[in-house]
Amino acid sequence: MPNPQQRTPPETTANGADSAAKKPRRLVAAKSRPANTANPPSEAEAKSPATTTQTPIGKRRWEIPPRTQPEAGTASQPQRRRRFSRRRYVLWAFELVILLSCLECFILKPRRARQQHEAKATRQTAAVPRQLEPITPLAERAQALPGLSEVVPAYLAPLDGLAPGSAEMRDTQLKVLEQEGLPIEVQNTIGMLFRLVPAGTAIIGSPPTEPGRGIQECEHSVDFPNHFYMGKMEVTQAQWRQIMGDDNNPSGFRGDDRPVEEVSWYDCQRFTHLLCMRENLPIGTYRLPTEAEWEYACRAGTKTAYCFGDNPANLKHWADYAGNNYRRTNSVGRRRPNALGLHDMHGNVWEWCLDDYTNYPGDDTPPAEYHQYPNLRGGNWYVEAPECRSANRARLPGASTGNMLGFRVLRMIAAPPTVRSTWEPPRQIELAPKEQQP
């Protein structure tokens, strides 16, 4: 009799069915991994059949052949590439913002400010004649001067803000007008304007107490026996081209109403020479002013550091210089004039003078190389206020050029004396011997 505790293994048929129970056995399939859409099975894997193995208890289990594992990093490579692209776009956008900010701050904003400044100055200049005292025209009583005509209407220079002595100089100007028939403002054949500078005596140089004074500015008295006309403004680029040719404009800051610059002393001499020839006048009728004539016209009766006084904070109303300029020349005539009606005697561009640099009386400086250099006066748009003083002296070799170097023209009334030749090179002087080193 069989032992009831002993189990007899069930018999199986060829098809795997239980002969005793006659029920189909359940197949336990191995749990498969989810399909990897990013790495589909290879062609060999797709063709390989699934296999079965016998479990210890006699159950079959389906085994699916393993798929080849993807290489490290291949699954995340597209995502990394996309992330890299986004970072690059963000970087480009950031660089574009920085570029636009720099363009706005350093180019567009200063340009708009300069345009607004110039437009405001133009409006103020246009309104000035309505606020000034007109000059009674001489008409037929005017003294005939070859190549010159009286400007009508013309106006007296305003005295607001000017230093003591300005009113007396303007009164002298009116006396010459009435007594000698010389118009205060005249114009030549190419449109250059000139203002009358009366004869007189002036103190040239600066007192020892003047701020910014140089040791070479010793005060001394100079007589000016003849009236003369000084250019109301610096020579403009339009006027330069009329004499030197339409295609001749050396200036760096272009503009018909801007002062011509990048001109040497020899260029200025040639300009005045050709201007005399154009109007059939003796050579020297138009010329550069001497250093003393320039300072006399700049002071216009004053004895202060500037034509308006000693306070450099007020220079912004009379000059274009480093304290108020946009790093370039300005159109002539935009700033206030002195008592004689001359504009831009302070600032804008340095102005060449006719004569060479020499020591003032009382200056015992030994001769040096710079004593053969022509004088420069007035300061310019690049320098600070002390260099724009009426008495400030400067000099450079005559062949020097630069965007700070310009000039204005003097028109003589009396017969011109013998003047320095247009083409004469700088004179040679004997220099003091250098001390020998021990």
Could you read off the pLDDT of 180-190 as tens digits, one per residue? 999 999 999 99
> CB 45: neighbour CB atoms within 10 A?
13
List of residues 6+ apart from 252 with CB closer than 8 A: 261, 262, 403
How wide is the angle at C-alpha 323 spanned by C-alphas 317 and 328, nearest 5°? 90
Rounded to whole angstroms, how far apart are CA atoms 287 and 264?
14
Say if residue 64's pLDDT is above 60: no
> CB 127: neighbour CB atoms within 10 A?
9
pTM across the whole model: 0.71
Position 9, amino acid: P
Say if residue 294's pLDDT is above 60: yes
In the structure encoding, which two tokens stand for residue 86, read together? Answer: 């986004």
> CB 354: neighbour CB atoms within 10 A?
22
- Name the pLDDT band for 113 (thresholds 50, 70, 90): confident
Contacts of range 171-179, beta carbons closer than 8 Å, 24 or more positions apart:
172/198, 172/200, 172/301, 173/198, 173/340, 176/227, 177/135, 177/138
Alpha-helical regions (H) of 318-390: none
Could you read off the pLDDT of 29-41 as tens digits, one per residue? 444 445 444 455 5
Could you read off the pLDDT of 309-321 as tens digits, one per residue? 999 999 999 999 9
Note the pLDDT of residue 325. 83
How high is the mean pLDDT of the chain? 82
Note the pLDDT of residue 438. 36
Residue with tokens 């690049």: 382
Look up residue 134 and give its DSSP letter.
Answer: B
Could you read off the pLDDT of 305-359 as tens digits, one per residue? 999 999 999 999 999 999 998 789 999 999 999 999 999 999 999 999 999 999 9
Percent of the chain with pLDDT over 70: 73
Rounded to whole angstroms, how far apart are CA atoms 416 and 403?
31
Q: Does a cis peptide bond (omega within 30 degrees of 0) precede residue 153?
A: yes
- Name the pLDDT band for 27 (thresholds 50, 70, 90): very low
Instruction: Kindly tell me the number of DSSP H helices and DSSP E strands found in the chain.
Output: 7, 15
Do residues 426 and 372 make contact, with C-beta atoms less than 8 angstroms apart? yes
Could you read off the pLDDT of 211-257 as tens digits, one per residue? 999 999 999 999 999 999 999 999 999 999 999 999 999 999 999 99
